[in-house]
Structure 1
């Protein structure tokens, strides 16, 4: 697999030189300073590509060309914004960048309650605590209808948890849930978040799914014409939060999406962490079932708890059999290569990582510290090399 690395651009504390030292050859990035729904100009794409190539690397995957909220709700400027999206696809293709990862999560991007969860080894990880989330959703945000969506035992536990929180604890929880996500084009406070949620109160899950399919029916033909492969990222976490619709949370959702707009340009990002937080998902089985439609892979692991909480485990630990997933992806690469495809390699990146060693206490994008991802990539590379050697 093509070993790649998420990079947040010139302001990222992890440098392109660090990416090379980690052993990756490809970069996964976006024009974050233009990620507000406008079309990406060719000159800006060329500038970012040249910067990456000057470091001896290749811009392998775009993550992400943002899907604006108006597109998700089919409201406001959605027609203009879809046209902008098509232009961005065409301009990226002209620059030779042919894989685009994107998501269709309403309002939120990936969501965690704790960005510094202390692990047994002394480093920190990302965690979603269902009781903390319930405390915020029901007792702090006081979202209309929230109480009916949480089991009584979670609400009772949340009352105890909230009573024990300091002012700074609560401020940190709120910032984690609604105020901060890397590469997002907007930041909420409590009132603006409530207003954003109100927009979705009248949008049912199936209506939202049809909005996604309508978007795909517009952009996939452009992507196919340009030789671009669109790779949708699953919802994270892969279950409803804040009463918002979730339509890319499991194997059934993935199958429905692929069937709605059949095309080699309509495919998946296999994120083993996001899909892996849903107990219904068997990741090795999904890797085998959807192999031909997997255009990109995020490889990370999670440990799930009985109440729905989870934390991000080390890459080879947790609940997902990472060896079996990698084996399935390597088998798909062999199949593509035998077909004579020039693009037979599946780009992968070590998704998220623990803050360990010298990265502890540094200002980094949570989940995207250097050393934890370097460790994860090295472990994944070891799996790949071992499986390739055993097959030789």
Structure 2
């Protein structure tokens, strides 16, 4: 509202006070800029990992060819590394068990968190309904309820993202690889999450016209006029007299107030039923999407670490095979192969240097 007022008045100071310029700067510079930096670092990490694998394979064969006497020791070291990789694959059952159990607990915790947050919203809504007539302010109340619901769902998804990252780190602890990269998990985005949820239904405000109010009062006052008219008739007075009319007015006023209270209680009960159904709909629809997203996270973590284990094992196995091949290479072929390997290693080093440049932060404008 402050920003809209500043726009109408063209008041720059009020616009800054609204906080929107700072928010826009943060989104452009930090959020979008951070996304670009993360993407660049991820690409650089993948390129460096590929370069290191190539360098290990080519360097192992080159070292064996340049110094044949070290081949037995190199073979022993590489066989030990291959044995560690085999052991890593055998231990896959443990990290997969950690992932399976952790995801089961995570789904249960997230569903409980969503229900708990929605229960808090529902309690606040029912307390607000009990404090007055919901029909008179139903539009504002519906907006507030939808905003609080969206905030609760957003908090649950943010916590889901944090817990997913924590689970990925727990699985990574089973691996002995250095500089182990984690999968890219993004579960905190709530765009479109509440689309399947129906809007809060309309509530009848319960306004009565002047004629309806008079009718309610007359319906109550009729019995009073008749009853006191009969009593005063024993004293020789007519059925309609000042005493019976006064009694009818008092009883009619009391009947109108009781009718108003009854209608208020009925609207409050109807409003509570509406918000409870809306909360149940949110829990049902959002809970389904939350479970689906966590299942996707489970598959992403599983595929990521399975690929890492196989890639590490494949790299070490190729190194062992290259060293074994180098040990049996004839002397006449050794020099030719050494030159080829040196050229390949130089190419790999240039590739790795370019990959390092990809991961570096770009120079600010004016400081290139």
Place the TM-score, normalised by the shorter chain, in its bin.
under 0.3
TM normalised by structure 1 equals: 0.18
TM normalised by structure 2 equals: 0.19
**Structure with the larger strand share:** 1
Q: Which of structures 1 and 2 has the larger relative contact order (alpha carbons within 8 angstroms, sep 6+)?
A: 2
| Bigger Rg over Cα | 2
